Amino acid sequence: MVQLTGTPLSALVDEPVRIRITGLTPFQIVTLQASLKDEKENMFYSHAYYRANKVGEVDLEHDSALGGDYVGVHPMGLFWSLKPEKLSIRLLKKDVMNSPFQVQIKLCDLMSPLGNKATSTSKVSLTFERWYVAPGVTRIQVEEGRLRGALFLPSGEGPFPGVIDLFGGFGGLFEHRSSLLASRGFASLALAYWGYKDLPSQLQKIDLEYFEEASNFLLRHPKIFGPGIGVIATSKGAEIALSMAVHLKQVTATILVNGPTSIYGLPHVYHGHTYQPIPYSIQFLSTNALGFIEFHGIFKEIGVEASQSFLPIEKAHGHFLFIVGEDDKNTNSKEHANKATEWLKRHGKNNWTLLSYSGAGHLIEPPYSPLCWASKTPNIYTPLHWGGEVIAHAAAQEHSWKEIQKFLRRHLIPMVTSQL
């Protein structure tokens, strides 16, 4: 009898699973199909073809996919190769506390040994629950003064290292990374700064005092120890995080995922001083063959004009982890990170680490997340091209997530040696 097994069936999304098939005929070729329905009823699919061994077994941990959405030995390939049925949809978990994503895996026969078509009827199936929060993690809605966000606290009495989590040009509140960080022992504040509740619907400036208030809010919490906090940020959020690291002594560990190192578009304001931005070079905006917008060209001019808005990162009190996707089509992040590290070296600083990933795109998420190649953003009608090659991007996500946790532990808990 054919059996499809998976372990564990319920786990955090950053944990790998093992998928095995037994009871096939020797050397039989089969199709594994994965499907997921998000909270907006959007469907995501992936598939791969496998050949059983001489005893009629397939083990994704050791066996190579012959074709489909990926080729080679990739135990989690069915998860990170999921693609939206409708083009330019990003897979995002909004309700991280109350429900998991459910990924259904079906085992199907193959109509042709070349894999032209799989039967619509599955032999057997199973469903994985992929959670964004571990048991015992608590979520606290933050509406203190003008701060808006969600604080995630790990299970236990603490105290815990504190982290502020920022995203970029989408606006709103993104909680999926913070809930996972809390599941790994960090108190993480998912912080909104525009397009959420009573926050501004459009950004006119970056008010660093807002982020200073958030830093102090974390350090006042009885379950969070100091004296410093970390910041993890993507895209425009990374620009803000870099400015926080320069101006706020509370920030001692800063993780910058595909962001610029100069002030772009909007001024930064801090205690009465205004730091002027570089205007975006819209004339360098481009579109790809599908008509998706690529913004990376507007960040390319890093010359005399840009030097006036380059953040004086040598003044930062803490350490930096630059995470770069070399196929980023949204921000010229590789050039910016290289300029930042050269600047730090020139000033005798060794407080930085650069992780640069060939083939990775802009949206580097926790591991096993599907590559979002393009999606829509508020106020822009045409989808944005984020870049990335599926297998390389998946590898970057898996490696960087481990390095992120090591970095935060090293610089926020200096007396504790990471177990990773």
Task: Give the up-direction half-sphere exposure of residue 127: CA atoms within 13 A in the CB hemisphere.
Answer: 7
Q: How far apart are CA 67 and CA 384, in angstroms?
A: 28
- 362, 385, 393, 411: the catalytic one is 362
Q: Which residues pair with 142 in a beta bridge?
A: 149
Active-site hit among 63, 69, 165, 328: 328
Distance CA 2, CA 28 (A): 12
> Distance between CA 238 and CA 218 in Å, rounded?
19
C-alpha 114, offset from chain centre: 35
Q: Which of 35, 179, 235, 243 is catalytic?
A: 235
Tokens linked to 216:
């102090």
C-alpha separations of 322 from 151, 242, 305 in Å = 24, 10, 23
Q: Is 393 a catalytic residue?
A: no
Query: What is the token pair recorded at 144?
Result: 């203190």
The answer to whether residue 198 is catalytic is no
Has 235 been annotated as catalytic? yes
Tokens representing 345 are 């070296």
Contact between 372 and 90 under an 8 Å Cβ cutoff? The reply is: yes
Q: Is the peptide bond before 8 cis (omega within 30 degrees of 0)?
A: yes
Give the residue numbers marked as catalytic: 235, 328, 362
